[in-house]
Amino acid sequence: MKITALQQNGTWESQYGLMYRMEVTLDDGTTGEVSAKKQDAWKVGDDVEVESKATNNYGTRLKLRRPEFNKGGSGAFGGVKNEETQRRIDASWAVGQSLAILGPICAQKDSAPPTMGETKKLALQILELRNELVKSLTDGNS
């Protein structure tokens, strides 16, 4: 959807600081109020997705987001991740899981620490298992 009209509608003080109110109209005819920390957070012509819509005594409140934020979060506020970043996150998670499994084994008396090769092999197995499970769940094959 696109913002087709926008009217500044004052400010208010929230627990997060000064917020700017805007009355927006979207190209599907939806109209409502949006709050933002920056006065120029939204502009006519911006592509948006409606995250939520709530009507109360004061009118319709909209929560908008930019479509690119729906492609996978990065940090607390979302964002676009590229494939390399996702690959690194997955690898880091798998190595952490591998070490969590191998750590208690190594803590046993007379046990040698795991080699890098053993850790890598287990991490790859964990990642492969996770990917198979995710695929089966998203395909509806449980």
pLDDT of residue 98: 84
Q: Is residue 112 part of a domain?
A: yes
Could you read off the pLDDT of 60-72 as tens digits, one per residue?
899 898 886 555 5
pLDDT of residue 75: 46
CB-side exposure of 79: number of CA atoms within 13 Å? Answer: 8
Q: In this structure, are 60 and 101 located in the same domain?
A: no
Q: In this structure, are 7 and 66 located in the same domain?
A: yes
Q: In this structure, are 90 and 55 located in the same domain?
A: no
Q: In this structure, are 91 and 65 located in the same domain?
A: no
Looking at the 3D structure of the chain, how many domains does it have? 2
pLDDT of residue 120: 87
Which strands sit side by side in the sheet containing 3-14, from one edge to the other? 3-14, 17-26, 31-36, 59-65, 49-56
Q: Is residue 75 part of a domain?
A: no
Q: Between the CA atoms of 35, 38, 41 and 42, what dihedral angle is there, to the nearest 10 degrees?
A: 50
Angle of the 116-138 helix axis to the 83-107 helix axis, nearest 10: 120
pLDDT of residue 69: 58
Containing 101, the helix (H) or strand (E) segment is helix 83-107
pLDDT of residue 71: 53
Please give the residue range of the domain that contains residue 18: 3-70
Low-confidence ranges of the chain (pLDDT < 50): 73-78, 80
